[in-house]
Amino acid sequence: MRLKSCGRDAVVGACHIRNRGCWFGRTTANHAFTRIDLGVVIAITMALVILVILSLTGSGNSKLPKPNVQTVQSLQCLENLKRLAAAQLLYAEDNLGKFCPSYLDYDSVALSNIWMGALANYHGRTNGVWLCPSATNTPPKTYTGTADSPWTFRDRESGATTQGSYAINGYLGLGRNYKKPKKVSLKMSNVFHEQSAVKRPALTPVFCDAIYWNCCLEEFDAPPRNLYQPQGVVLAPGAFKRVQTQFIARHGDFPAYEAPRELPSEFLPGAINLAFVDGHAETVQLENLWTLYWHKNWDPNQVPLPHPAPR
């Protein structure tokens, strides 16, 4: 087949001519796609994209996914707790399987003698890792915190203060170096004196969100109705009286500052983050805290069903 002559103004290899086009013997009235045409198409496409974005984000009703502040805070909190759990395990390796101490193990309550000081060299940070991003509001004028503010620890020897928002499970720390009888309500037979005593590491809490630096739970313990700042659970610094300071609605259903001050029912809304002896961390609903093994002799069959009603 011969290429048909396209006239004086033909462009070899193309079908565009001034009056008409041709290609392998076929004439056409269409012209080729020029740069101007391309620019117009791109401009129209960009305009359409902008209109779609504006329609999705306009009038304050965005349909595009937005970063969830609560989710970001909870993820950072979980990372902090995993770091503390890892530090606890490293400490145990260096101390013949013994967990780091609670302040109840010493006559002194200096920072260096409790978990915040004892673990500092193991997690590589002396502050910050103790603080949940959901609990950074101005703390109340007391050593305990709230769902959205940290607790404050004061070193009685140096006078220095430290803020945090996590608690050690008292059944792991208590008894590490117990030097003299102290007035506590924990059963010493339930204490994990060493790591080998933990039979269910994936279900045994080591650190968790709390309004105080220690916590505990026994099968028949009833939760408080105030999930913003549990009242009446800590009498004074150094006193353990069913220290259920982990019953705060810090994560889950709503922002920490909206934690209920007075529960209208027996259902416990919200959740806390916990780290476990096996090193993992997760968010657990307050309703499910009794499914964990808080002490050495925890018996799930002794937990009332449903759990004890809030007092």
148: its two tokens: 């959205």
User: Each residue of 94-143: pLDDT tens digit?
Assistant: 988 888 876 555 555 677 777 888 888 888 765 568 899 999 999 888 78
Give the mean pLDDT of 291-306.
93
Q: Which of 47-56, 220-229, 291-300 has the lowest mean pLDDT?
A: 47-56
Q: Which residue has the higher pLDDT, 110 or 6?
A: 110
- Whether 71 has a pLDDT exceeding 90, the answer reads no
Q: How many CA atoms lie within 13 A of 237 on its CB side?
A: 14
What is residue 281's predicted lDDT score, i.e. its pLDDT?
Answer: 97
What is residue 1's predicted lDDT score, i.e. its pLDDT?
Answer: 45
What is residue 141's predicted lDDT score, i.e. its pLDDT?
Answer: 80
Q: Which residue has the higher pLDDT, 35 or 265?
A: 265
Most confident listed range (14-18, 211-215, 234-238): 211-215
User: Each residue of 162-180: pLDDT tens digit?
Assistant: 889 999 998 886 655 444 4
Mean residue pLDDT of the chain comes to: 77
Contact of 167 with 210, CB cutoff 8 Å: yes
